[in-house]
Amino acid sequence: MALNSFQILTLLLLITSSGSTPSPNYLKLPLLLRRPTPPPSATQILSSDTLRLASLCSKSPIVSAATLGSGQYLVTLLLGTPPQTLKLVADTGSDLIWAKCSARTNRTNHPTHSAFFFRKTTSFRPHHCYDSTCRLVSHHRVSHCNHTRRHSPCRYSYAYSDGSETTGVFSVEKSTLSTSSADRVEFENISFGCAFHLAGASLTGGAFSGAQGVMGLGRGPISFSTQLGRKFGNKFSYCLMDYTISPPPSSFLTIGKYQNDSVLRFTPLISNPLSPTFYYISIRHVYINKSKLRIDPSVWALDQFGNGGSIIDSGTTLTFFPKPAYEKIFSALDQLLADVPSPEEPTPGFDLCLNMTDAPRNLRLPRLKFKLAGGAAFEPPPRNYFIATEEGVMCLAVRPVGSDSGFAVIGNLMQQGFLFEFDRVKSRVGFSRHGCALGD
């Protein structure tokens, strides 16, 4: 029986991955929060999310946190022999692991940690352009192979919705991970994009400074979570803490099983063959203060053309709902908050803003609850969907998707304070408000 390309890559990883782990079940990696200077305004975050949403809707390759500092959770990855330290954006909405690369051997005019210097490592190896693994890179064209060269490398090109682009060589390298317990774990072969060329404001502007690339955590065969998944039970989880707190609490990413199933509430993962990267879940009903809203179930459905549905995305800050659902939610919240004064100048781009300076002292913001497939209920606190946009002003951090057929995106703000576990063996997502402290 012939092996397909996914099975070949999985077998390769099983054979070549090595190194002891601090636990037989999981690796726990700190997630670092990158704060741009100056911090982005609520309007800038909305603009950034709108751009990312366009990428998601077009089902094209995307990069999280590439614009205006949205979704700023970074993972430390050491690549090479000897290891070089890189900071990569953790992104559940893309598959490719890529890092800025430099062919220089002298770092005098190219600061350390600004890029991966592949000539300074003894374990770097490009994939050959005819390798089956090379075909796993989206948008790779076999015609790029040089038929006259025996060692033609696997070249890739990713173009983003705003016109930005990363191109380079799909390669193999030794990687080292620093865990939250200060241990280091080595893996002999990680496939990643060595990006020699970046173009466009998203990737070359100051907003992307502090990050040297992206760690794709999607469902595809080349993602970080897939490449290490078989060694750790095909599970990963993360906890994103409130980044409005200064200093912010510690967030983390875990590869492998971290929490007991009894602690988590589960909902099934849905597969969308037309968008295989994303983690789709099914929203059944929405409640506000225990009252169920009359939203047609078809609004949340994933149709035969791959449209609709709801995804969990670590790289989008705000939450987006299809327009029919958003209008029902907005109308109910607006009625419940009718006695709260509006600010003299509402924050541009946000429909529901509150003047908290003049609000009643005993004001209790309405509670949202999402009933999911499988019976699980997701009940985020109000601070996960009302954000301070300026001094004394709070706005609803939920926006409509432009078209009636758009899909829902549960952004990282809505996820804060919850542990989310992605179990790809049982095809389900678990979540809990317990276990989010780094020391738990």
Assigned domain for 132 exists: yes
pLDDT for the residue numbered 13: 39
* pLDDT surpasses 70 at 22: no
| Residues recognised as catalytic | 91, 313
- 287 or 135, which is more confident? 287
Q: Find all residues with CB under 8 Å of 210, minimum gap 6, and list them.
A: 34, 36, 74, 87
CA-CA distance, 433 to 394, in Å (whole number)?
Answer: 24
**Could you tell me which residue, 304 or 171, shows the higher pLDDT?**
171
- pTM to 2 decimals? 0.84
pLDDT tens figures, 153-203: 999 887 655 567 789 999 999 998 877 666 778 888 999 999 999 887 667
Whether 87 and 223 share a structural domain: yes
The verdict on 323 and 201 lying in the same domain is: no
Q: What is the spatial distance between Cα 258 and Cα 249, in angstroms, rounded to a whole number?
A: 19
CATH number at residue 374: 2.40.70.10
Task: Please list, in sequence order, all residues whose beta carbon lies within 8 angstroms of the beta carbon of residue 66, skipping any fewer than 6 positions away.
Answer: 89, 160, 164, 202, 203, 207, 208
What sign results for the dihedral spanned by CA atoms 297, 302, 305, 311? positive
Each residue of 252-290: pLDDT tens digit? Answer: 999 988 888 888 999 999 999 888 889 999 999 999 999
**Which structure tokens are listed for 288?**
């506000």
Q: Are residues 239 and 349 in the same domain?
A: no
Rounded to whole angstroms, the Cα distance separating 203 from 149 reads 32
In the prediction, which pLDDT does 178 show?
Answer: 74
Number of domains in the chain: 2
Neighbours of 47 (CB within 10 A): 17
Contact predicate 193/168, CB 8 Å: yes
What's the rounded Cα separation, in Å, for the pair 75 and 68? 19
Q: Inform me whether the pLDDT recorded for 247 exceeds 90.
A: no
Q: What's the pLDDT tens digit per position in 74-131?
A: 899 999 999 999 999 888 888 889 999 998 876 555 555 689 999 999 999 999 988 8
Residue 80, by phi and psi: left (phi above 0), alpha (psi -120 to 50) or beta?
Answer: left
Q: Is residue 26 part of a domain?
A: no
Q: Determine the structural domain holding residue 175 and report its residue range.
A: 42-255
Average pLDDT in the chain: 80
Same domain, 75 and 197: yes
Scanning 162-214, the segments in alpha helix (DSSP H) are 201-204
Tell me if 323 sits within 8 A of 403, measured CB to CB: yes
Instruction: Report how far residue 136's alpha carbon sits from residue 127's, in angstroms, rounded to the nearest whole number.
Output: 11
